Amino acid sequence: MTRIDAHHHIWDLSRRPQTWLHPPEMAPIRQDFTLADHASEAARAGIGRSVLVQVLGDAQETREFLALAEKSDTVAAVVGWADLTRPDLADELAALAASPGGQLLRGIRHLVQGEPDPRWLARDEVREGLGRVAAAGLTYDLLVAPHQLPAAIETVRVVPELGFVLDHLAKPSIASEKLEPWAGLIRELAAEPNVTAKLSGLITEAAWDDWDAEALRPYVDFALDAFGPGRLMFGSDWPVCLLAGSLPAWTETAEALLTDAGLSSDERDAVFHGTATRVYRLTR
């Protein structure tokens, strides 16, 4: 089966500022990245379709992504952004769905990892917004750090009608070789049936210039044990991944780790294709 990259980005620095790229260590990716750039790199890794994910908390960015996706031969879905706390969120989601390319909107994401309140997801207005996301037939991508997992677990339980997708396995401390408390919290989150997760963003949580498959293995193996291949999906986090390695290099490493873990061909297909197709309801 053709692989699916269930998590990548694009940006055009001339259209809107990307202040998160200002630190010196981000210089290697402080440039424009287009859908054509991604498609070229993805093809080298045997990837034919993708899910384009929001970068900024900007509704206009989401509209632009949808319009670009509609004209793309490779983007099969978009995970966009909307303000979960706005009272008219249902109307905003309907407007996004009715905009050019809106039929490709499959999920919403907020940059929770950047919220100073570790319990931001537990706020009443946020949870009400998540209920409206569910009512619109969309998923919600959870972008959280380990210290925010307790609030994420509580929220997943109180909004059982919503399908949650955990991005980047909640960013474990791979560079410091720590499993706990991350592992215990991931196990608790994975026990909830409305949660799936992405094998994405891991090489940038390792030492950027000194990682290999062995550094990632404990985290990938744990995720496989907690979620199973039927609830995991592969993502590149391109072009952010370029800080630590190429898209083909990460894809090859992921394939090797899944094979070494004893997954069958069908189980590897679930991670590289089936889970994303089901969760994001991909039709193209």
Q: pLDDT class for 60, splitting at 50, 70, 90?
A: very high
pLDDT the model gives residue 1: 65
> Which structural domain range is residue 186 located in?
3-279
**Does some domain include residue 239?**
yes
Residue type, 255: E
Note whether 142 and 175 are within 8 A (CB): no
Is 114 within the bounds of a domain?
yes
pLDDT in tens, 190-205: 999 999 999 999 999 9
* CA–CA gap between residue 249 and residue 255 (Å, rounded): 10
**pLDDT above 70 covers what percent of the chain?**
100
CATH number, domain of 80, equals 3.20.20.140
What mean pLDDT do residues 135-162 have? 98
Residue 272 has pLDDT above 90, yes or no: yes
Rounded Cα–Cα distance for residues 101 and 160 (Å)? 28
Mean pLDDT to the nearest integer, 247-257: 98
- Please check whether residue 284 lies inside any domain of the structure: no
pLDDT band for position 143 (cuts 50, 70, 90): very high
Average pLDDT score over residue span 217-230: 98
Kindly report the pTM of this predicted structure: 0.97
On the question of pLDDT at 134 being above 80, the answer is: yes
The 10s digit of each residue's pLDDT in 106-129 is: 999 999 999 999 999 999 999 999
What pLDDT was estimated at residue 72? 97
User: Which pLDDT value is given to residue 230?
Assistant: 98
Report the C-alpha gap between 195 and 141 in whole angstroms.
10
Rounded CA gap, 31 and 183, in Å?
Answer: 35
pLDDT in tens, 14-50: 999 999 999 999 999 999 999 999 999 999 999 999 9
Is 103 part of any domain?
Answer: yes
Identify whether 214 is part of a domain. yes
pLDDT of residue 23: 97
> How many domains, in total, are found in the chain?
1
In sequence order, what DSSP letters do the residues of 233-268 get, joined into one string?
EE---BTGGGGT--HHHHHHHHHHHHHHTT--HHHH
Average pLDDT in the 81-89 region? 97
